[in-house]
Amino acid sequence: MVRERTGLVPLSVAADRIGYVALRCAGLLAQLAQQGQPVDRSGRGTVAEVYPAASLQCWGLPHRRYKGTSGASALGQVLNQLQAKAGWLEFGPHEDLCWRSHDAADAVIAALTARAAARELTIAPSAQQLPAARKEGWIAIPAGVSLPLLPDPGPPPGPAR
């Protein structure tokens, strides 16, 4: 679905740098489930799987070449445009870190995407996709219009859960 919607290809769990993260995530999800938290891998539980580059693209922001030391200029463009589209967004005491580290910036983007998922402002799996999404996982892809709506503390749009 991510490739179909965005043209971007998420890393495979078999990729060298994400395999350990996937195993750690499986352990955390198991702990949450044991604590009685709703763990729904289709994106409607306590946890949302995110792909920061896909979120940026869906929000109409630069989403490529902002990583690593050669991407410092592009990272600045991403953050400037993110703040322009989400005028309410403040990085607080972590602003300098976000400008220096794409990992910190990705953490902010991931948090914004998780907020979109919590407010049901992401693309949900279709009825046909839902069984596989519950088993294999679903990457939360924000609706393009979601960014300005994220700070609203009101109830999410659509039917109540």
What residue segments make up the domains of the chain, in order of their start? 2-149
The reported pLDDT for the residue numbered 19 is 79
CA distance 58 to 151: 18
The reported pLDDT for the residue numbered 156 is 53
Tokens of 79: 């953050």
The reported pLDDT for the residue numbered 4 is 83
CA of residue 144 relative to chain centroid, distance: 13
The reported pLDDT for the residue numbered 152 is 67
The reported pLDDT for the residue numbered 155 is 57
The residues pairing with 56 across neighbouring beta strands, listed in sequence order, are: none
The residues pairing with 122 across neighbouring beta strands, listed in sequence order, are: 142
DSSP tag of 75: H
The answer to pTM > 0.75 is yes
Q: At 50, phi and psi to the nearest 5?
A: -130, 160
Beta strand ranges found along 4-148 (DSSP E): 49-50, 139-140
The reported pLDDT for the residue numbered 48 is 92
Q: What is the pLDDT along the chain (161 residues), one digit of tens a residue?
A: 888 888 887 777 666 677 788 888 889 999 999 999 888 889 888 899 999 999 999 999 999 889 988 888 999 999 999 999 998 999 999 999 999 999 999 999 999 999 999 889 999 999 999 999 988 889 999 988 888 888 866 555 554 43
Q: Which residue is it, tokens 């859960």?
A: 161
2 within 8 A of 139, measured Cβ to Cβ: yes
CA distance 112 to 52: 9
Tokens of 152: 């609203």
